[in-house]
Amino acid sequence: MTDGDRDDGPAGRGHRPAPSERSGTHAAETHGRRELEGTAASPGVGIGRAYVIDPRHIHVARREIKQDEIRGEIDRFRAGVQSTHTQLEAIKNRLPHGEHRQILAAQQLMLRDPDLAARVESMIGQDGISAEWAVDRVADEIRETLSRADEEYFRERGSDIVFLAERVLVHMSGEDDGEFQPPPGSVIVAHDLSPADTAELARAGVVGIVTGVGGQTSHSAIMARSLEIPAVVGVDGILDTVQSDDAIVVDAIRGVVIVRPHADELERWQTERDRYEVFEDRVQREHGLPAIARDGTHIVLRANVALDAEISSALFHGAEGIGLYRTEYVFMDRDVPPTEDEHYRHAKAVLRRVAPYPVLFRTFDLGSDKPTRLFKFDEREHNPAMGLRSLRLALRERDTFLCQLRGLLRAAVHGPLRIMLPLVSGVSELRRAMDAVAEAKVQLEEAGLAHAQDVPIGIMVEMPSAAIVADVLAKHVDFMSIGTNDLIQYTLAIDRTNDEVGYLYRPLHPAIVRLIHRVSLAGKAAGISVSLCGEMAADPRYTWVLVGLGVRELSMHPSAIPVIKNIIRGSSLPEMEALARDVLDAEDVDEAEAMVLEVMQARFPEHLLHGGGQRLTHEQNTSASAIGGGEAEG
């Protein structure tokens, strides 16, 4: 945000009317058909008329105040927070149960954060500035810090703060904060949408959402997924291309938006939308059934979850438990680490919701790439992926680690909880972590607190070193889970967050395939389970190879589960093993990819097209649809 009059920033309450309704300002330069690319954030195809929401123009009074005005400004700020809270409450109460409500509840909590309020109020008092200016500055500072994070998730939380600040500013200004009323069948087009706006719009029978910014983990993307509205986000230049009432197609399978499509094309899109809906319907119908292959092999499909808000989606999509609960988010945005009781209560609540299925809690996987204020990192740490992160940090910050372990061990009394240690490099490091687990138990005994004795302890295999010595590690743990996101990063020496080398991120590289095979064999020999919880598990192209290599549990983001399940239910183990054998024999990644794509496209063309995993490139999609007519079992 800028000081002074504001003329940019996320979308707010102003609907930009269609030309016929408009007095003339700020029309997009539009003529014929335009096609723009973005990120598919909530799958599906939406076809309708654009309803454009203009960026809001908020006046931020950059005013210095006198000593005797301080009290009044603080009161105005508090009243603005209170009305925003009440407004969010009203929106939340109009929603059905589920994760969308929890996202709004989380926003209310953020709004009520005493640290945030204290920062604004001390700025008003000490710097002698208006309440608006203080809110704007605090929001800006937080957004600025979070925007430097490597992970999209943290950058997105910066947008949440900006949205909240905007609502507070609107309430303080007394401007109209009226609700949008798009006609049913509209496609919403905006710079960005807050979760509250997204929730309100969903009620209005919106058929698609397009935003100029945002990524997969923005709250509006999560919201759109949970409300099942097709959404493409991060579409550069969308507001300059479209105006209200334009016909628009949201292809949230490929991540493309077509503005003012040709008439004949529109018909094809309608067919595409119907095909998608039939496919979705087919895979969703199986959501209560287990992923059992035709020969009877049961593959356990679980969900990866980072926010409690995602649990309902995991259950809805038929997850048999949580295969990776990323607990680092419990540590975010705070100055003191969570207490043992907080860990306990949180884990217990998660277990209750997921029962009777298990939850694998991964102990904190923080590092200097994730903006936590809790730990001090060396500023010269130029290579955080190889630096003080994850289990290494936990072993250095032993008290914080012990505290989390105690909370988890206590919660395990209430359900099937498993503890998973991230980024284990080898047996010595594992021993140090196991010593901490033993010490946490002793501490609980001394304190006389009930806890489970036999909690399964497992490791993530996400370093090449761990994969290479998996046979030894397997003797000391109860389960192993392969984290391909990091395993690929470290094995192929490519920074997973660097787009410049993204083209090298190829999961079927023979080195990766052999490491996965090695870990699976080690697990089998030791009689322990081996799962895989990297993004690779969510990609329909790789299902046969992974199962064929011996992996019997896959954990993925919830929306990918139905498609992967449908593939497994339509396949048999011998054919999956045959493909895995061929891939193991491949000499290079090109050869491996070609053979996998040929088989999977022939058998599951629609799954590859509509899969919930890593998106295929446009060319791959096009060739997948061109093959068409394959034998896609249901």
- Residues designated as active site: 219, 533
Under 8 Å between Cβ of 10 and 65: no
Of the pair 186, 481, the CB lying nearest ligand PEP is at 481
Binding partner of residue 158 among Mg ion, ligand PEP, none, CB under 5 to 8 Å per kind?
none
Name residues contacting ligand PEP, limited to 73-112 (CB under 6 A).
none
Q: Which of 230, 212, 337, 215 is nearest to 276 (CA)?
A: 230
Other beta carbons less than 10 A from residue 300's beta carbon: 18
Binding partner of residue 451 among Mg ion, ligand PEP, none, CB under 5 to 8 Å per kind?
none
Structure tokens at 300: 């356990």
Q: Indicate whether 613 belongs to the interface with ligand PEP (CB under 6 A).
A: no
Q: Indicate whether 507 belongs to the interface with ligand PEP (CB under 6 A).
A: no
Binding partner of residue 533 among Mg ion, ligand PEP, none, CB under 5 to 8 Å per kind?
ligand PEP
Binding partner of residue 326 among Mg ion, ligand PEP, none, CB under 5 to 8 Å per kind?
ligand PEP
Q: Indicate whether 534 belongs to the interface with ligand PEP (CB under 6 A).
A: yes
DSSP characters for 480-549? EEE-HHHHHHHHHT--TT-GGGGGG--TT-HHHHHHHHHHHHHHHHHT-EEEE-SGGGG-GGGHHHHHHT
We find the least distance from the C-beta atom of residue 225 to ligand PEP, in angstroms, to be 19
User: What does the per-residue mask of binding to ligand PEP show for 361-380, with x meaning CB under 6 A?
Assistant: ----x---------------
Name residues contacting Mg ion, limited to 456-485 (CB under 5 A).
462, 483
Q: Which residue is nearest to ligand PEP (CB)?
A: 483
Q: What single-letter amino acid sits at 361?
A: F
Of the pair 201, 549, the CB lying nearest ligand PEP is at 549
3-state DSSP assignment of residue 208: strand
Q: Indicate whether 320 belongs to the interface with Mg ion (CB under 5 A).
A: no
Torsion angle, alpha carbons of 567, 569, 575, 578, to 10: 60
Of the pair 169, 305, the CB lying nearest ligand PEP is at 305
Binding partner of residue 534 among ligand PEP, Mg ion, none, CB under 5 to 8 Å per kind?
ligand PEP
Beta strands in 33-84 (DSSP E): 34-37, 39-42, 45-55
The span from the CA of 565 to the CA of 293, in Å, is 9
Q: Indicate whether 465 belongs to the interface with ligand PEP (CB under 6 A).
A: no
We find the least distance from the C-beta atom of residue 50 to ligand PEP, in angstroms, to be 36
Q: Which of 614, 525, 600 is nearest to 567 (CA)?
A: 600
Q: Indicate whether 486 belongs to the interface with Mg ion (CB under 5 A).
A: yes
- Pick one of 82, 297, 485, 614: the residue that binds ligand PEP (CB under 6 A): 485
Phi/psi for 605 (5° steps) reads -60, -40
Phi/psi for 28 (5° steps) reads -70, 150
Q: Indicate whether 328 belongs to the interface with Mg ion (CB under 5 A).
A: no
- Pick one of 137, 326, 603, 607: the residue that binds ligand PEP (CB under 6 A): 326
Paired with 35 in beta bridges are: 258
Q: Indicate whether 297 belongs to the interface with ligand PEP (CB under 6 A).
A: no
- Pick one of 195, 323, 415, 483: the residue that binds ligand PEP (CB under 6 A): 483
Under 8 Å between Cβ of 197 and 95: no
Q: Indicate whether 462 belongs to the interface with ligand PEP (CB under 6 A).
A: yes
3-state DSSP assignment of residue 473: helix
Q: Indicate whether 333 belongs to the interface with Mg ion (CB under 5 A).
A: no
Q: Indicate whether 558 belongs to the interface with ligand PEP (CB under 6 A).
A: no
The span from the CA of 622 to the CA of 149, in Å, is 34
The span from the CA of 179 to the CA of 610, in Å, is 34
- Considering only the C-alpha atoms of the chain, give the largest distance between any 2 of them, rounded to a whole number of Å: 80
Residues of this chain that bind ligand PEP (CB under 6 A): 324, 326, 365, 462, 483-486, 533-534
Residues of this chain that bind Mg ion (CB under 5 A): 462, 483, 486
